[in-house]
Amino acid sequence: MKDLLSYAIRRFGWMLLTVWAVYTVSFVLMRAVPGNPFSSERTVPPAIERQLRARYNLDAPPIEQYTDYLVGIVTRGDLGVSIRLEDYTVNEVLAEGFPVSASLAILALVFALTLGVTAGVVSAVYRGSIGDVALMATAVLGIAIPNFVLASLAILLFVFLIPIFPAAGWGTLRQVALPALCLGAPVAAYVARLTRAGMLEVLGREHVRTAFAKGLPKSTVILKHVLPGALLPVVSYLGPATASVLTGSLVLEKIFALPGIGSHFIYAATQRDYTLAMGMVLTYTVLLFVMNSLVDLSYAVIDPRVKLQ
Amino acid sequence: MSDSPPPSRPVAGPDEAALARILQESREIRGVSLWQDAWRRLRRNRAAMASLVFLITLMLAAIFTPLLPLQSPIDKDLNNRRFLPPNAESVVMGSRPGLKFEDGRLTAQLAKYQAEIAEQRAEILAISDPVERAEQLAAFDTRSSVEHPFNQLWNQLGPVAFTMCRIRVAIFGDWAVPSLFGTDKLGRDLLSRVFWGSRVSLVVGIVATIVSLIIGVSYGAIAGYLGGTVDAIMMRFVDMLYSIPFIFVVIFLVTFLGEDSVKKILDDYGIEQITIFYIIIGAIYWLTMSRVVRGQVLSLRHEQFVEAARTVGASPARIIFRHVVPNTLGVVIVYLTLTIPSVMLFEAFLSFLGLGVAPPDVSLGLLLNDGVEALSIVELFWWVVVFPGAALALTLFALNFLGDGLRDALDPKMKNRS
């Protein structure tokens, strides 16, 4: 328990350091662009532009802006005002989009894990059968086809040709299912391969042979003795999987027109909305860091040999 | 070392004969190096070999794309050729009326152009004042190279690609492969676009991977070899970088680099945006490579050959790069074949979002983006997404299979086994 606490504290320290580094780099880049957010707009009378600059704290020296913004984030959690979206603060955009993106990502991960692990177990148990070959071929296909292509094909197939799912929109489970499926597909494929490799390795171990020799039913051996050991690589893949789901959500939200933060991020990037983009980068950094730490923790819980450092 | 004993000296006693025989035998025994062994095992892996052959073919096709008798990848024909399904109707280069080529043929236009150029050039050369002549000649050369008919059919050819295009015209003339893959929404030939796009995608994949290779291997090798506190700090840094969602940082950076003023500064230094693009992608894919190399180096650094090198006074840098790094090559190659596909996928992803390779350059990601946009239920233009998608998927497929095969082949545990 003490281990856990000190680990958590250390990780938190590292997270602060990382976020700070990301913040600094983004800030420097943002300010390195000549001009300011108002210089490219329709020409505003100089007096008004001065006021605008004062309102957004753009007239302060860079160092002061840097610290002010940082202090704002740390003390009030205030990420500033979006430059391009009228009447929106970055926090509001995040608050609106986050639930959408989070549920999409979680659903995709759940789907990927269930499907991937099941496929991996089946193909390892029936190694060499037609089913195994077919599943693994599908898995390679899932890795090799970019998910945006998959998504557009899926839309064509399941929305237009065989209308099972609605084309876009957000709210009901049916609307979420198709994007989540497409988002989870590459992860599922990878998980299936990892599970299969892990299963095959554990299946060859002595304790499994003993379990079979004792006359335990096949399902018990597989589920109780093989699967836990085989899942270790899958658990350690969860960190990268989260990253890939977050990345994939950028395009999928664009394709399915979902109001998540991913689509805002693309918008922010293409429209040069620096405060919004920076807010997003910071949010994603925190998310990924928390997820990685959780993965490390769960790894230590599952495998007692792993020591937290 | 000659293979047979020198004939000039006759074999004397029986001892010497025995010795000669033993020597002869020992010469015939060939040691199996790691690489030969790996190659032997790789050759048995049919999927990996097929992938290797496919990749080599692809690589050659990508390098020599300008030589192939393909249609123009950028020439648009909005009137007659929009969304043509795959067909085998023959096509003449430069036949689109809008191009206003002589006779509607590229070769005829080229001949006309060259004749005009030669004529005008002769006129300028006739100017007596040498200073003015040189000036006019320079101005004329730049102007004429802009007006070259190739520039209407191909986009910004480099000197090598330009020469290849000339050879292509010399060999194949106006003949071009029909639109076997159909045409896209602007009437451009999809087959040639897939070829030119693969070229760009492959270059991005390979260059970015090489960048990541250089950074990752040096970083990992240095951390692993020095060990101790240096290693701990360097690896903590890598851990920290692992937690940064790089995709977002890259998008941020690409946006920043796309800013007009920044672009101008870069242009002043003669740096193209795409070069930066390679470097950025490469700079984020080195993390895993450095970890893997470090692990290898940690196990290698107490080996005798390293001790020996240190004993004779080799510097740490020399030991790392001459003695240790070559021994990590196996793992590095495996990771290389697995990094290229992820880099290519990332390029496709960025291009799809409109943040990567910019038109009129083509890449597979851009083609897919076009294809996805053209997908609709009203009319099924399946070819615009299927062919680029298949090209990308096949390449990634092959790279994955080859990577897996190499991993098995180079695994020391498998040595001298089936």
A15/B contact by beta carbon, under 8 A: yes
Average pLDDT rounded to a whole number, residues B176-200: 83
Q: How far apart are CA A91 and CA B182, in angstroms?
A: 47
Contact A270 B255 (CB under 8 A): yes
Nearest to A152 among B252, B375, B393 (CB): B375
Do the Cβ atoms of B365 and A145 come closer than 8 Å? no
What distance in Å separates residue A10's CA from the closest CA in chain B?
12
Chain A residue with CA closest to B242: the answer is: A289
Nearest Cα residue to B75 out of B224, B201, B200, B176: B176
Chain B residues within 8 A of A155 when measuring between CB atoms? 375
Residues of chain A with pLDDT under 70: 1, 32-44, 56-58, 83-86, 166-171, 272, 306-309
Do the Cβ atoms of B407 and B42 come closer than 8 Å? no
For chain B, which residues lie within 8 Å of any Cβ of chain A, measuring from their own Cβ? 239-240, 242-245, 247-249, 251-256, 259, 261-262, 341, 345, 348-349, 352-355, 368, 371-372, 375, 377, 385, 389, 392-394, 396-397, 400-401
Q: Which residue has the higher pLDDT, B259 or A192?
A: A192
B5: confidence class by pLDDT, cuts 50, 70, 90: low
Nearest to A17 among B240, B253, B348 (CB): B240
Question: Taking the CA of residue A171 as centre, how many other CA atoms within 13 Å lie in the half-sphere pointing to its CB?
Answer: 2
φ/ψ of residue B56, rounded to 5: -65, -45
Contact A155 B245 (CB under 8 A): no
Instruction: Give the best residue of B244, B259, B337 to mutate against chain A (max A CB count within 10 A).
Output: B244
- Provide the β-strand partners of residue B189: B183
| Sign of the four-CA dihedral B80, B81, B87, B92 | positive
φ/ψ of residue B213, rounded to 5: -65, -45
Chain A residues within 8 A of B255 when measuring between CB atoms? 269-270, 272, 277
Nearest Cα residue to B355 out of B411, B235, B274, B271: B274
Taking each helix axis as running N to C, give the angle between helix B364-374 and helix B190-226, from 0 to 180 degrees, rounded to the nearest 10. Answer: 130
B418: confidence class by pLDDT, cuts 50, 70, 90: very low
Instruction: Give the best residue of A27, A39, A148 to mutate against chain B (max B CB count within 10 A).
Output: A148
pLDDT for residue B13:
63
Nearest Cα residue to A95 out of A268, A252, A280, A281: A280
B177: confidence class by pLDDT, cuts 50, 70, 90: confident
* This prediction's pTM: 0.78
Do the Cβ atoms of B293 and B217 come closer than 8 Å? yes
pLDDT for residue A213:
92
Q: Which helix (H) or strand (E) holds B92?
A: strand B91-92
pLDDT for residue A169:
63
CA triplet A157, A158, A161: central angle to 5 degrees?
Answer: 55
Contact B249 A292 (CB under 8 A): no
Contact B244 A277 (CB under 8 A): no
Taking each helix axis as running N to C, give the angle between helix A274-302 and helix A232-256, from 0 to 180 degrees, rounded to the nearest 10. Answer: 150
* Sequential DSSP letters for B341-376: HHHHHHHHHHHHTTSSSPTTS--HHHHHHHHHHH--
pLDDT for residue B37:
80
A256/B contact by beta carbon, under 8 A: no
What distance in Å separates residue B210's CA from the closest CA in chain A?
21
At B166, is the secondary structure helix, strand, or coil? helix
φ/ψ of residue B39, rounded to 5: -60, -40
pLDDT for residue A167:
64
Nearest to B247 among A21, A152, A247 (CB): A247
B2: confidence class by pLDDT, cuts 50, 70, 90: very low
Chain A residues within 8 A of B394 when measuring between CB atoms? 144
Per-position b or e across A65-83, b if 16+ CB within 10 A of its CB: bbeebeeebeeeeebbbbb
Summarize pLDDT for B123-139 with one digit per residue, the tens: 888 877 888 888 888 88
Chain A residue with CA closest to B240: the answer is: A18
Average pLDDT rounded to a whole number, residues B209-213: 89
A53/B contact by beta carbon, under 8 A: no
Summarize pLDDT for B303-360 with one digit per residue, the tens: 888 889 989 988 988 888 888 888 888 888 888 888 888 888 888 888 887 777 777 7
pLDDT for residue B22:
85
Q: Which residue has the higher pLDDT, B92 or A231?
A: A231
Summarize pLDDT for B357-414 with one digit per residue, the tens: 777 778 888 888 888 777 766 667 778 888 888 888 888 888 888 888 888 787 665 5
Q: Which helix (H) or strand (E) holds B238?
A: helix B228-242
pLDDT for residue A112:
93
A294/B contact by beta carbon, under 8 A: no
Contact B243 A14 (CB under 8 A): yes
Cα A278 from chain centre = 17
Do the Cβ atoms of B207 and B107 come closer than 8 Å? no
